[in-house]
Amino acid sequence: MSHILTACTLASHALASSAALVVAVGAMSGCLSKPAAESQGMCEVSTDCPSLDHLCDQGVCWGDPPDSSGFAAVLIPPADRPDLAPTELTQIAISSDGTIASLDFGRTVTFHGRIELGCGAQTMPPDPESGQEGCQPGTLIPAQVVIERASDFPGGPQYRRTILTNAEVNAEEDSFSIALPNDGAEYRVTVLPDEISLEAIASGGRQIQAPPFSALIRTDDDVDVLWEIGSPDQLKVIEGCIANSNGDGKAYASMRVTAFGHWTSFSKSTRASSVVPTDIDGCFSLAVPIDMQDEFDIVAKPGPGQTLPTIRLFDEYVRDPNIDDGSQEAYRIAPLLMPTMASPSEFHLPLRGRTGGGELEPIIGATVVLDTVFETPATEKRNVQVSFSAQAVSSSDPDLSGIAVVKLYAGDKVGSREYRVRVFPTSDAQHASIFDGVVSLGPGGPAVLDTVELGRRTPVSGVITNTLGQPLANTPLKFEPSQLLRGELTTPAERVILDNLQFASELTGETGEFLVWLDPTLLGLFARYDIALAPPDFSSAPRWVFSGVSVDAEPGEAVNLGELTLPPASYVRGTIRDSRGLVVPGAEIRWFRLPDDATCGDLPKAPSCEAPALPIGIWESDEAGEVIAVLPDPLD
């Protein structure tokens, strides 16, 4: 049995691929302050340091930095400096004594304006009884404005900023304003109206639809916009109903219907309409942007308090209206058919696992997910999926210990209904996750289902040491699925499952030792993990990740990773300034190590792999604008 141990910088692939520049890199990357008196002791004079290139100051050996061309960084302004924008540093110069040059925020432009409701498209007439006058010109929309573009450095996280509009300002004021880099780049702006606030504006049972809106802007100068969301010339309307497949006329009121679409042929699917409840007849009317691609998914989910399947119509082509003659005729889809089925019933699913001694015990606190797909009627020729999912947590109640209580649809006289079962124990449990269990429910089946027995996780141990071979005590460790494993996943649904799982965290003991329990397989694949470490400040060890650690073992066999040694640390420092040269206290610098070109070569199932730049820590400037960072130097 072999264990892959390649070192890379601190942080998991999931974090690196999903974090925006204005979102924290993670709890493992804490801020580092100036050396405290009790932390000093690395040196008294420069000759005490490991290399002649070091400079001893304040008890710390500064300098002898790694090759800075392998790093990038992002400056994040403090909350009290809205005039500054996050700035990417793609070329970093560090002198031999550890001084970082040019930690400067870039020049900015202002993106500002108003986002208003386009009244012509709203079904909101005046209501004399309540005194409401309906939709008024200039009505501001409460919304989230998302501004994003690709990173300026390879594998870097998406540059993304968000701001909430203020719908309470007067007619002469902007409802939003935000600073962006004066880089002349093209940014995609998406406006996501606040559904709850729209319902409050409508009130009285009336309906407002303000679908998401998207546009491109360039930041070579200030950008001032006045955008109306929901104007008739921006939208096309999709109408439909939800009906029972047996044609008994049953109406499905209060289900929540939404359209999803793509702004470009290369963009990911995103919400394209407001969330609309079905009326008393089970019917709905969705307004979607004309500027989106013409194929939409229509999704009808259960409303609050409802236990019903979800219906999804895929890739429905919706033609544009003929706006030349003023026509706004809606596009009508055939009814979405709810399968014929009995009412759901309550079932008990016992979860059991074996102790180290081999006895069965109830598993408490595990998340259980059961899902099934209904057969579509023979008359349905479109790409439609009718699915049902139930979720519960296994109980700690003495009378229901280790039992998950769920409402499910049983089978009928034609046959049993089969559910896929997934079980995710807590991250510190010794019992393994299940991704592909099966439960069959026949008509009139027992209320207590067959017991699901979980296997055992693999005990994984090791010792963490610094480059001098000294153990690192009380050091936080976090385990995440590795980049190599993620590259083997073949569907977006699998990646979502993996991203939502919780994995072990631990502190090393006094002699640097650790012991955790990890799933030996994940989603049917042999599991490999990244071990992220965050040594204490000024511990002569940098934040780091051991990547691609295999825990493949026979059932019941332990895995000992032996001694895991961190690379040397290089202490560097600089002063963060704004574009005028003034120091910026309270700013953050977030360091990234650029990806290794060889990473994707290890991912045969991911030909389009783009290896991520991995974050290695967050550090904050002091009152004088000075900031310290600890960089790993694996080639030292």
| pLDDT tens, position by position, 204-260 | 445 567 889 999 999 999 999 999 887 777 889 999 999 988 767 778 999 999 999
pLDDT tens-digit readout, 401-415: 999 999 999 887 777
Region 535-556: mean pLDDT is: 80
Q: What percent of the chain has pLDDT over 70?
A: 84
Nearest residue to 148 (alpha-carbon basis) of 14, 21, 16: 21
Region 84-102: mean pLDDT is: 94
Least reliable range by pLDDT among 140-144, 423-427, 621-625: 140-144
- Better-scored residue on pLDDT, 205 or 48: 48
- Better-scored residue on pLDDT, 425 or 496: 425
pLDDT computed for residue 539 by the predictor: 65
pLDDT of 578 over the 90 cut: yes
The token pair that represents 428 in the structure block: 């510190």
> Residue 440 contacts by C-beta under 8 Å, 6 or more apart in sequence?
411, 416, 417, 418, 419
Per-residue buried b or exposed e for 307-320, using 16+ beta carbons within 10 Å of the residue's own CB: ebbbbbbeebebee
The rounded mean pLDDT for the chain is 84
Domain ranges of the chain: 6-105+459-632, 108-232, 239-327, 345-456
Least reliable range by pLDDT among 48-57, 278-287, 506-515: 48-57
N- to C-terminal Cα distance for the chain? 30
pLDDT level of residue 31 (50, 70, 90 thresholds): very low
> Strands 213-218 and 108-117, how do they pair?
unpaired
Q: φ and ψ at 15, to 5 degrees?
A: -65, -45
pLDDT of 321 over the 50 cut: yes
Q: Residue type at 56?
A: C
pLDDT computed for residue 339 by the predictor: 87
Least reliable range by pLDDT among 62-66, 107-111, 551-555, 591-595: 551-555
pLDDT of 26 over the 70 cut: no
The token pair that represents 149 in the structure block: 């573009």
pLDDT computed for residue 14 by the predictor: 31
Neighbour-count burial of 490, counting CB atoms closer than 10 A to its CB (0-12 exposed, 13-18 middle, 19+ buried): exposed
The answer to whether domain 108-232 and domain 345-456 are alike in fold is yes
pLDDT of 134 over the 70 cut: no
pLDDT computed for residue 562 by the predictor: 94
pLDDT of 606 over the 60 cut: no
Q: What is the DSSP letter of 152?
A: S
pLDDT level of residue 314 (50, 70, 90 thresholds): very high
Interatomic CA distance for residues 456 and 259, integer angstroms: 42
pLDDT computed for residue 325 by the predictor: 52
- Better-scored residue on pLDDT, 143 or 12: 143
Q: What is the CATH number of domain 345-456?
A: 2.60.40.10
The token pair that represents 290 in the structure block: 């004309």
pLDDT of 11 over the 60 cut: no
Region 565-583: mean pLDDT is: 93
Q: Which phi-psi region, left, alpha or beta, contains residue 554 (left: φ > 0; alpha: ψ -120 to 50)?
A: beta
Q: Rg of the chain's alpha carbons, rounded to an integer?
A: 29
Q: What is the CATH number of domain 108-232?
A: 2.60.40
Q: What percent of the chain has pLDDT over 90?
A: 52
Interatomic CA distance for residues 449 and 164, integer angstroms: 48
Q: How far, in Å, are 365, 421, 554 from residue 503 at the CA level?
A: 15, 20, 21
Q: Residue type at 272?
A: A
Nearest residue to 453 (alpha-carbon basis) of 368, 350, 306: 350
Nearest residue to 264 (alpha-carbon basis) of 309, 298, 295: 295
pLDDT tens-digit readout, 60-78: 889 889 888 889 999 999 9
pLDDT level of residue 486 (50, 70, 90 thresholds): confident
pLDDT tens-digit readout, 273-309: 988 999 999 999 998 999 999 999 999 999 998 999 9
Nearest residue to 260 (alpha-carbon basis) of 283, 286, 230: 286
pTM of the entire structure? 0.81
